[in-house]
């Protein structure tokens, strides 16, 4: 999506006015009020973020902030959601349009409800890049590109591992993220399509990405089923670690009596895998800041940009694999 010279000029004037009024901006690793350089020649990018949510989100948003640094030619305006509330994200998104930023990065807390503001950004000729989470309906005409690992492929790999571990089937539980997120839907899609027919899904519940909630949810499920559960598919690391605590609370051994699969691949999860408390960790690589910079630069230059960019990820299926990866783990 190319932007007109006239609009860029207007945006520059708007930016100068915004800075004069003290609008919050941040550069690499700084979520405070400091401005990103003197603004001359810098590309202004609004980042409608999720904010505190866990290890994966922290790594991802720090990587984005590092990539869109003043040294790389950007002024990044970082706007995390207030307690995960979508309305606060829509307010931030609208403010970025009104300020006339050059581009907007969006990590949505909810999949639906974005059509109106995306159309406003389109009318203002501001390219929008989706980070991680998609939108529903997925109207690719309303955004420039989506950058994310392949959720369907990652959960498929987890199911295929489970099939190998339990050739005679098993009783299992799914711990999901918040209902309605595209990432949750995609992770269910890949798992459900690939898990063998001789497996029995005992329960599927949201634990909201939380270790504490996952521990509570899985404790209840274990008691209700007399501990007769052999496998947990946790859709993020934190919930998998919560399930491990519940298993230990029940007097069982995680990784042995109950195998636990997680997604994300944070250092905490790999340490648990190395210790035998988790069984399989599928990475969901959060480090795609450089990809986002490339997309924004191409979009502003009027170059063609792919509507979907898949971030390469890997899997860890043994303590040895985790031990090998840990010394160089960046998140």
pLDDT of residue 306: 96
Residues composing the chain? 331
pLDDT of residue 24: 39
pLDDT of residue 153: 97
* Domain boundaries for CATH 3.40.50.2300 within the chain: 43-148+286-310, 151-284
> Tokens 């639906």 — which residue?
112
pLDDT of residue 146: 97
CATH architecture of 151-284: 3-Layer(aba) Sandwich (3.40)
The sign of the torsion formed by the CA atoms of 130, 236, 201, 197 equals positive
pLDDT of residue 37: 40
**What is the CB neighbour count within 10 angstroms for residue 192?**
14
Q: What is the topology classification, in CATH, of domain 43-148+286-310? A: Rossmann fold (3.40.50)
DSSP line for 301-316: HT----SEEEEP--EE
Closest by CA to 64, choosing from 287, 289, 284, 286, is: 289
The sign of the torsion formed by the CA atoms of 81, 148, 322, 208 equals positive
pLDDT of residue 39: 52
pLDDT of residue 182: 85
Q: What residues does 45 pair with on adjacent strands?
A: 76, 103
3-state secondary structure of 43: strand
Measured distance CA(97)–CA(123) in Å, rounded = 10
Measured distance CA(77)–CA(37) in Å, rounded = 12
> Tokens 């504490």 — which residue?
212
- For the chain, 331 residues long, the average pLDDT of each consecutive 10-residue run is 36 35 37 42 97 90 98 98 95 98 96 96 98 93 97 98 98 95 93 98 97 98 98 98 98 98 97 98 97 98 96 97 96 93
Tokens of residue 84, six digits: 């995960």
């Amino acid at each position: 999506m190319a932007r007109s010279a006239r609009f860029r000029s207007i945006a520059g004037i708007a930016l100068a006015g915004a800075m004069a009024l003290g609008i919050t901006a941040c550069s690499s690793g700084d979520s405070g009020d400091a401005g990103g350089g003197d603004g001359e020649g810098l590309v202004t990018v609004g980042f409608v973020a999720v904010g505190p949510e866990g290890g994966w989100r922290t790594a991802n948003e720090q990587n984005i902030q590092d990539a869109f640094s003043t040294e790389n030619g950007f002024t990044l305006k970082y706007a995390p959601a207030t307690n995960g509330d979508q309305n606060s994200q829509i307010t931030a998104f609208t403010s970025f349009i009104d300020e006339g930023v050059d581009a907007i990065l969006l990590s949505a807390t909810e999949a639906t409800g974005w059509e109106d503001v995306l159309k406003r950004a389109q009318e203002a000729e501001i390219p929008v890049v989706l980070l991680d989470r998609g939108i529903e309906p997925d109207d690719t005409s309303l955004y420039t590109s989506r950058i994310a690992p392949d959720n369907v492929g990652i959960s498929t790999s987890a199911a295929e591992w489970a099939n190998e571990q339990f050739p005679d089937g098993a009783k299992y539980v799914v711990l999901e993220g918040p209902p309605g997120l595209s990432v949750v839907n995609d992770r269910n899609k890949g798992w459900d399509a690939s898990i063998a027919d001789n497996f029995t899904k005992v329960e599927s519940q949201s634990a909201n990405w939380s270790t504490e909630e996952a521990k509570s949810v899985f404790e209840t499920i274990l008691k209700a089923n007399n501990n007769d559960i052999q496998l947990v598919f946790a859709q993020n690391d934190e919930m998998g670690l919560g399930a491990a605590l519940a298993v230990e609370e029940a007097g069982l051994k995680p990784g042995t009596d109950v195998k636990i699969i997680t997604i994300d691949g944070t250092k905490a999860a790999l340490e648990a895998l190395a210790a035998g408390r988790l069984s399989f960790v599928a990475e969901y690589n959060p480090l795609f800041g450089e990809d986002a910079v490339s997309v924004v630069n191409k979009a502003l230059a009027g170059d063609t940009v792919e509507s979907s960019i898949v971030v390469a990820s890997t899997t860890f299926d043994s303590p040895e694999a985790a031990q090998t990866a840990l010394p160089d783990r960046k998140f």
